[in-house]
Amino acid sequence: MIIICVALEKEIPPLFKKQYPNHWARIDALQSGGLHLYLDRSYLVVVTGLGQSSFLATEWLINHVKPSEIVNIGTAGSTTVELGSWVMLQSVSHADCRFECQTKTSLPIPYHLFSVGSGITINQEDPSVSGDAIDMESFHMARACQNTPVPFSAIKYITDYNNANTQSDFNKTLDQFHVAFLELLRGLSLPTPSIAVIIPTYNRPQKTISAIESVLNQSHSPHEIIVVDDGSELLFEYDHPQVHVIRLNKNHGVSYARNIGINHASAEWIALLDSDDIWNPNHLACITNYLHINSLCRWLQTDERWIRNGKHINKKAYHQKPMGWAFEPSLKRCLVSPSAVMIHRSLFDWHGIFDEHLTVCEDYDLWLRFSRYIPVDFVPEITLTKFGGHVDQLSTAFPAMDKFRLTALMKQWANPWPNIDRDGLRAVIQQKCHILKQGALKRGLSTDPYDCIEQQLLGSD
C-alpha cells in the first residue's frame, strides 16, 4: 500500500471523498480501530495534521501499516514558483536540519512534468521565510521516515507567495488545488482493462498468421487486434472480424509500424507481439489477473522461453527480468521483451512512443524512458515463446547495436531530472564508447563521434 499523507482535511476535494470513500481516512479513525477496513487498498489518503502531529501520524503509519512508500501531497507557499504550479521536493529543511526526499514515486502520475525544488517547513506563518515550497508538515513526515526502509517523497501545489496575503490567497486558490488534486489522482483507479494487441509485420506471412492465431486462442480475449503490414512486398491479408490489418505503402521500420498501431488503437492497454513470436493461451489472462490485484501497475511483462534455430536456449542469470525500479539494471542490456509486455496508454501520453529514428534498440530506448519514472511489474510465469536466429531478425541485420543503445543512453544523459545515479549512467556510456571506438579503429573508421561524447561527459554532470 502507498500512503498519501495530507496535512489538512480541507485539502482533500469533496468530490474525491464522494467518489473514493474507501481510499481516504483520518489518522484518528485508523488509530481507533478502523485500520482493518483499508488494508486491502492499493493506496490510501490519510489526514495527518500539521507539525508534530504529522510526525506522530507518519510514524504510526510506518509501524502499523508498513507502507511501500509515503507521499506527501499538499499545498505550500513559495517565493520562487508561480501560483498553481506543482513542485516535487528534492529536500526539506527545518531550522538547521535537512532531509533528502525521493524524486520518484510508484504512484502512476506525471510528476516528471513538475518543477523540482527544496522545501522549508515552518511552525507558524512567517512571511520572512523564502524558498521554493514552504509548508508546515513535510519535514516532520520526512523525519519519521528516516532510518526506515520506507521511501518518502513530497509533491507541493503552490497556493500563495508566503507573504501577508498568505491566508487569503490560500482560500482563493483552494478550489483550484482541488481540481489539480483530482486531476493528479484520477488515474489511480482504472476500469476493467480493455486491451489492444499490436502486431507489426514485414514479409513474414506464415509467422504472422501463427502470431495472430495465438492471440485468437487466448482464454481472455483482447478488445482489438491490429496488424500493421509495414510495406511487405506481398500485401499481408487475414480475414477475421476481430483482426484489423493496416497496410503501409512502403517499409518504414518497426518503430513506425508499432506507433501506427498504438495510435489507431482505442483500448486503454497496449499489448505488443512481434510477428515471429507466439503467445500461450493464458498470456492475457495471467496479465489481467495480476492487474486485478495490483491496480497501480501501469506496465508489466511475463516470462518467456527462447527458441533459436529450432533449439531451446537457457537464459543466463543476467537476463533475469526486473521487478520494480528497473532503470539502472536496464542500462547494460534490454530486460523487457516487447512480446511479453503490456502498457497502459497513459505512459505513451506522458513519455512518448517508439523513436522512429532508431532502426533497432527502439524498445531499449522506450523502456529506459518508462523505467526512469515508473516501476515495471513482472509476472514470473512463462506465457510465450520467442523465436530467434532467422535471417530476417533485426538484431541479425544490425550487429553493432551498441551504437543505437548509445543514442538512447545519451538521451537519458541530457535529461536533468534528478532521480537516477548519474555516475552509473556515465560509466555505462563510457563503456559503450570504448567498445565502439575499438570497433571503429579495427575498421579504419573515425572515433570522433565517441571522443565528442566522452568530452561531453567530462564537461558536465
| Same-domain pairing of 206 and 184 | no
pLDDT reported for residue 393: 57
Q: Is residue 145 part of a domain?
A: yes
Q: Is the pLDDT of residue 183 over 70?
A: yes
Backbone angles phi and psi of 175, in degrees to 5: -60, -40
Whether 409 and 429 have beta carbons less than 8 Å apart is answered as yes
| Same-domain pairing of 328 and 434 | no
pLDDT, one tens digit per residue, over 233-259 is 888 888 999 999 999 999 999 999 999
Mean pLDDT, residues 15-35: 95
The C-alpha cell at 107 is 504512484
pTM of the model: 0.92
User: Which residue range is the domain that position 386 belongs to?
Assistant: 195-396
Whole-number Å distance between alpha carbons of 232 and 279: 23
Q: Is residue 402 part of a domain?
A: no
Give how far Cα 371 sits from Cα of 224, 377, 428, Å: 27, 10, 16
pLDDT, one tens digit per residue, over 323-333 is 999 999 999 88
Among the candidates 167, 188, 209, a domain finishes at: 188
| Same-domain pairing of 154 and 36 | yes
Q: Is residue 405 part of a domain?
A: no
Looking at residue 177, which CATH number applies to its domain?
3.40.50.1580
The number of domains in the chain is 3
Whole-number Å distance between alpha carbons of 45 and 16: 10
Q: Is 309 left (phi over 0), alpha (psi -120 to 50) or beta?
A: left
pLDDT reported for residue 235: 84
pLDDT, one tens digit per residue, over 277-291 is 999 999 999 999 999
Lowest-pLDDT range of 48-52, 317-321, 436-440: 317-321
> Percent of the chain, pLDDT > 70?
97
Q: Is the pLDDT of residue 215 over 80?
A: yes
Among the candidates 188, 203, 219, a domain finishes at: 188
Picking from 301, 295, 287, the residue whose alpha carbon sits closest to that of residue 222 is 287
The C-alpha cell at 373 is 519514472
Whole-number Å distance between alpha carbons of 134 and 390: 60
**54 CB-side CA count, 13 A:** 29
Whole-number Å distance between alpha carbons of 264 and 196: 10
DSSP labels for 365-431?
A: HHHHHHHTTS-BEEEEEEEEEEEE--TT-HHHH---THHHHHHHHHHHHH---S-S-HHHHHHHHHH
Whole-number Å distance between alpha carbons of 193 and 342: 11
pLDDT, one tens digit per residue, over 47-76 is 999 999 999 999 999 999 999 999 999 999
Average pLDDT, rounded, for the chain: 93
pLDDT reported for residue 1: 95
Whole-number Å distance between alpha carbons of 340 and 336: 8
Whole-number Å distance between alpha carbons of 383 and 286: 8
Which residues, other chains included, contact 458 with Cβ-Cβ below 8 Å and sequence gap of 6+? none
Q: For the chain, how big is the Rg over CA atoms in Å?
A: 25
pLDDT reported for residue 401: 85
Q: Is the pLDDT of residue 390 over 60?
A: no
Q: Is residue 377 part of a domain?
A: yes
| Same-domain pairing of 165 and 257 | no
Among the candidates 371, 396, 421, a domain finishes at: 396
| Same-domain pairing of 181 and 199 | no
pLDDT, one tens digit per residue, over 110-127 is 999 999 999 999 999 899
pLDDT reported for residue 394: 58
Q: Is residue 366 part of a domain?
A: yes
Picking from 283, 262, 136, 267, the residue whose alpha carbon sits closest to that of residue 214 is 283
pLDDT band at 412 (very low <50, low <70, confident <90, very high): very high
**155 CB-side CA count, 13 A:** 23
pLDDT, one tens digit per residue, over 292-305 is 999 999 999 999 99
| Same-domain pairing of 384 and 443 | no
| Same-domain pairing of 130 and 238 | no
| More confident: 389 or 156 | 156
| Same-domain pairing of 219 and 276 | yes
Picking from 156, 140, 192, 6, the residue whose alpha carbon sits closest to that of residue 82 is 156
Whole-number Å distance between alpha carbons of 385 and 406: 29
| Same-domain pairing of 314 and 447 | no
Mean pLDDT, residues 145-169: 95
pLDDT band at 213 (very low <50, low <70, confident <90, very high): very high
Q: Is the pLDDT of residue 392 over 80?
A: no
